[in-house]
Structure 1
């Protein structure tokens, strides 16, 4: 039987469950039904990660619930790697766009220090977004399971990884693509926040909107400050 020392949740009605499945003869398992709604507690137990991620991309809230609460193969190391991947991919794209918008005589601005600056800006932006979610959960909801909030913030930002594909298939900056990516991140963050904080759609939309605007504005303000400070240092 699944590990009963930890808590599980029904992905349909969010009812606590002691286990997700039980083992029968041999290596076969039987998925358990929720005592409240009668549905399978977690149908994703037998699914590959690719299917789970596909449903998550389609904004199935049950997929988010599985990943955040029931998945045993999404370890803390996975979220650490995801965080590093998000920062590096977004930082690289911003660095690339920054360099392309400069004249040929400003080659010095293509050095790797600007990549580090863009990665720092990305880290600050995502960090401020997460801090606002954490503060709201702590003040309004008295919810202190930080790991779930941290994981949900990263899952909501997964759309930034599409930047890598954009670089491969399209050499340039596309306002339309950037707009679609931000919209996808916004919707994903709403879903992941709903799951992490157990709040309704309207409350999640308002919270994510406030966090989104604050984080984007902070990045917009800090961008010229960091660039100018570095350029004053090297001149």
Structure 2
């Protein structure tokens, strides 16, 4: 566990009095900064979520280090489930973009278009698989950049926590469901993408305990890696240009 204010390790974030489960607790203070080690222990999750939305580092420290047991490797199954939901939402919006604009783009191969019916659903699964690969390339590029820069500083880097930080800070992708309910312009997806990238910067900064500038470099490297992958896909399938930058 760590202090969410200064990031220093602490033995515990609260002490419980009376019988176990009685709810009689007292929050402990950090010996380094003398602040409450983790104020979110007494807060509802909605407050934590609002602080995530506001890019507060304390909320990320609470969820990454104090909310769940320590793991030497692997990521919790709930993170995997959330990531799958994110990718489904993103893929569906990209498919809608292809469906709406694909027939009007001269670069779209004619054999992908049914001129009388909707765009085939098998295109959705192709887009879904490329979305998985894009996210994998994004994470891999960030890991490579972190390993290159911090290999000499940290003898062991918990890359599973780095992946969890990226997944956690990508919660903005969940707002894509609004585009499935209401008629938002596709530019709304691009705005959400910018929000997600900025959240990734905060999460990586918190996990690595580094500067904002270096965190931006890592995210930019990941974005360039994803863009490079998208460019390769476009070389083989010009229709994919319709959703490259979502």
Instruction: Give the structure-1-normalised TM-score.
Output: 0.85
- Which runs of 5 or more residues in structure 1 are unaligned? 1-7, 229-235
- Which of these residues, 224, 227, 231, is aligned with residue 216 of structure 1? 227
Which of 162, 165, 170 is residue 149 of structure 1 equivalent to? 162
How big is each residue's C-alpha offset from its partner over 1:7-34, in whole Å with a ceiling of 9 and x where there is no partner? x111111101111111012421111100
* Cα displacement (A) at 1:136: 2.4
Cα RMSD over matched residues? 2.4
Cα offsets for 1:158-211 (capped at 9, x unmatched): 21111111221116x432x13311220111010011112221111111221121
- 1:133 is matched with which residue? 142
Q: After the TM superposition, which of the residue ranges 179-188 and 73-82 deviates more from structure 2?
A: 73-82
Number of positions where the alignment pairs a residue of Structure 1 with one of Structure 2: 220
SS of the aligned residue for 1:130 comes to helix
Where do residues 132-211 of structure 1 align in structure 2 (5 Å cutoff)? 132-142=141-151, 143-170=156-183, 173-175=185-187, 177-211=188-222
Report the Cα distance in structure 2 between the residues aligned to 1:187 and 1:167, rounded to whole angstroms: 23
Distance in 1 separating the partners of 2:47 and 2:96 = 32
Task: Judge conservation of contact 1:132–1:211 (CA < 8 Å) in 2.
Answer: yes
Residues 25/131 of structure 1: CA separation in 2 closer, same or farther (3 Å cut):
same
Select 1:114's aligned residue among 123, 132, 138. 123
Cα distance, 1:135 vs structure 2: 1.7
Query: What is aligned with 2:65?
Result: 69
Pairwise CA distance, 1:156 = 2.5
- The equivalent of 2:106 in structure 1 is none
Q: Distance in 2 between matches of 1:85 and 1:227?
A: 27
Distance across 1 between alignment mates of 2:227 and 2:8: 36
CA shift for structure 1 position 225: 2.2
